[in-house]
Amino acid sequence: MMPAQGLDWAGLMRVGLHQLRLRPAEFWALTPAELAIMLGEGVSAARPMGRSRFEALLARFPDRADGSERTNQ
């Protein structure tokens, strides 16, 4: 088993303090999730819906002919 890799604190601080222009107190107050969002991680995870997925959703949840809205039950 390989040892777990630690965080690149020097790299994270360089990006946070220089690129993002955070003050040290602001950098250290961030949660890892907040820092990841600021660095753009996870942005590409949300892909646009393709035609086949859209068609599958239409088949699963068709519009009602009378125009009424669906209620959660």
Give me the pLDDT at residue 43, please.
Answer: 61
Give me the pLDDT at residue 2, please.
Answer: 47
Chain center to CA of 61: 26
pLDDT digits (tens, 9 = 90+) for 18-67: 999 999 999 999 998 898 889 887 666 567 788 998 999 889 988 877 76
Q: Which residues contact 22 (CB under 8 A, 6 or more apart)?
A: 16, 30
User: Given the structure tokens 């390989």, which residue do they identify?
Assistant: 2
pTM of the model: 0.49
Q: 3-state class of 13 per DSSP? A: helix
Q: Where are the domains of the chain?
A: 8-43
Question: What's the CA gap between 3 and 59, in Å, rounded?
Answer: 48
Binning pLDDT at 50, 70 and 90, where does residue 6 land?
confident
User: Given the structure tokens 């819906």, which residue do they identify?
Assistant: 49
Give me the pLDDT at residue 49, please.
Answer: 81
